[in-house]
Chain A
């Protein structure tokens, strides 16, 4: 999967998880930028991403994610 494809699929996932169709993804986007992106929504996001891309992240990988860019790199490496 190439980067634009990942961003496209990830955008759908963000809209789904946060119930907000206006979210636009940039590499720097992080929890502070999105309403409702607390630690539990974060877990729901990670779980949805894992199922959508059919991949599993390790606990330490999840712990190191700072922003969308990091997440995309992780997906690229796995998917």
Chain B
């Protein structure tokens, strides 16, 4: 089975403590409905979904409010066994903001339930009736090569479905959700089955085609099970053994996926599909980091394997925009740097005129997304964030749980497919006005100023279990040290470029203090993310020759922890003062106030913008961040930090 679909890989994995959280439902300060939606947002198997459904039923039977989940009553008519599917539908609907009640009549009573005015289904006055018929319910006879007879068969099936619909419409205001038919895996001739009238394959093709036409514009809804089966593979969809044993229409392993499609459809009926796509930039919309790699270095060229993957994301975003989904950008970058590829790169498909709101700054993404939502006058629950960075995804999920944030695999080639597979933008109708919706936002790549900060960022960072590792330069780290020294542009105070031999020289010079810094967190090891070189200046003074950092770890107080480490070693060596320089370039405006933020005093500024800073070692006590510190490989033990 393709795991993207069978395991719903765009959803975060269920945490170990899910059963405990289920038991503790209703005990927290939040609303029950929100808690249920949060629990349903994880990927779960049939047993887990069944347990969650039990908890939802218990709440409903106990008369508890399920706000803000929107109530929906769905009746299901089927000629197959749906008992195991029903709990999955209830649990999964919560993921889509719906409190679902399912009316399930006795097995295989499709016509009776649809046509009898006081049937269980009709009396329950459902909001929608799902006609979940399996092709084996249809009067399909092989009429090989007989075009007239085949046509009559197809018309007969359509007539039957229409009769069911008429019966339902006569007795309630329910929307009919018509499931189409996944054809059998086996063919009779081979390729000819498709073209020759009267084979099962061509009969079902014709039925599906006419059903789609019939439903479009009727006010009813199509559930394209044939398309779903095709996507996962007919051979995986059908499980003949399960049909024989218990009349399961499709493999039990695909029940969670099927339930998600029903959830999306109901959400779409209730107008709760997502309406905006917020794009991260670096390594999402192009390969690489614009601030470090520059226009020449980012990968979006056609013919470049990595570039093609990111172009596919851009293409999908543009197609979504064409059907009325609003595009926005939320990127950790300097605004002008982030806009450059849109303005100047010849291979960019996305242009600034396609983006309604363009937020590129160094503030946290939760606060930025809040501002984007307000600017677009859309709820947070209408937003989707596409971001390659698991730390950013975790932050937004934690602080803005209503925003949909798909998990992405490591390989960018699958980004576009994963976003599409998640089906956030499911629609049941399309009108010309939809195409104009994006224009309504005037796509002027508006920059919104941030008002209030979203709370909880510090607590989230503390939950990342970060470990920072300090070591002096060594042979093992040298290649990466040289790479960072030569390619860091943004978070680089002096932009001094050194060759391998020069780095080796610094490594071996006992008067020079060097640092290679690594950061790991629960998502993995970020590798080396900062490099520092301090050289002896005047007596008792260390000149900070080089201080650079990967922008990926900005906002986590790494700089403060690095300064603490420098100070510990400075104290041990009897150094009284640290002196730092900011040498402005066209790329490092980001760090103009790096030393100010770390408590240094500015002692000089010249006409070019170069600034000089100083910090007395004694009494300096930079803020500590909640991370474990490992300091190893240094020749002398550093002095114990003043508590």
Contact = CB atoms under 8 A, between A and B. Distances in A.
Contacts of B51: 19
Contacts of A47: 46, 252
B50 interface: yes
Nearest to B54: A19
Interface stretch (A27-35, A36-44, A71-79): A36-44
Contacts of B241: 59
A29 B50 CA distance: 23
A44 B83 CA distance: 11
A39 B83 CA distance: 11
Interface in B210-249: 241-242, 244-246
B84 interface: yes
A19 B50 contact: yes
B83 A40 contact: yes
B246 A44 contact: no
Task: Point out which of B47, B54, B81, B83 has the most chain A C-beta atoms below 10 A from its C-beta.
Answer: B47
- Counting contact residues on chain A (CB < 8 A from B), the size range is 10 to 19
B47 A44 contact: yes
Contacts of B47: 16-17, 44, 48
A25 interface: no
A18 to B, nearest CB: 9
B46 A44 contact: yes
Nearest to A50: B252
B236 to A, nearest CB: 14
Contact of B81 (A19, A40, A59): A40
A44 B244 contact: no
A65 interface: no
Nearest to A13: B47
Contacts of B54: 19
A40 B246 contact: yes
Contacts of B246: 39-40, 43
A55 interface: no
Contacts of A62: 245
Contacts of A40: 81, 83-84, 246
The DSSP consensus for interface residues of chain A is helix
Interface in A42-75: 43-44, 47-48, 59, 62
A44 B84 CA distance: 8
Nearest to A46: B245
Interface string B26-54: 00000000000000000000110011001
Contacts of B84: 40, 43-44
A51 to B, nearest CB: 8
A16 B54 CA distance: 13
A43 B81 CA distance: 12
Nearest to A38: B83
Contacts of A59: 241, 244-245
A19 to B, nearest CB: 5
B466 to A, nearest CB: 34
A44 B49 CA distance: 12
A11 to B, nearest CB: 15
B283 to A, nearest CB: 35
A16 B14 CA distance: 15
A17 B51 CA distance: 9
Nearest to B252: A47
B424 to A, nearest CB: 29
A58 to B, nearest CB: 8
Contacts of A44: 46-47, 50, 84, 252
Interface string A1-30: 000000000000000110100000000000
Nearest to A19: B51
Contacts of B245: 43, 59, 62
A17 B46 CA distance: 9
B389 to A, nearest CB: 33
B590 to A, nearest CB: 50
Nearest to B240: A59
Interface in B42-84: 46-47, 50-51, 54, 81, 83-84
A48 B245 CA distance: 16
Nearest to A58: B241
B180 to A, nearest CB: 26
Nearest to A47: B252
23 contacts: A16-B47, A19-B50, A19-B51, A19-B54, A39-B246, A40-B81, A40-B84, A40-B246, A43-B84, A43-B242, A43-B245, A43-B246, A43-B252, A44-B47, A44-B50, A44-B84, A44-B252, A47-B46, A47-B252, A48-B47, A59-B241, A59-B244, A62-B245
Interface of A: 16-17, 19, 39-40, 43-44, 47-48, 59, 62
Interface of B: 46-47, 50-51, 54, 81, 83-84, 241-242, 244-246, 252
CB-CB nearest 7 A-B residue pairs: A40-B83, A16-B47, A19-B51, A47-B252, A43-B246, A17-B47, A59-B245
Given A19-B50, A44-B84, 20 more contacts: A16-B47, A17-B47, A19-B51, A19-B54, A39-B246, A40-B81, A40-B84, A40-B246, A43-B84, A43-B252, A44-B46, A44-B47, A44-B50, A44-B252, A47-B252, A48-B47, A59-B241, A59-B244, A59-B245, A62-B245
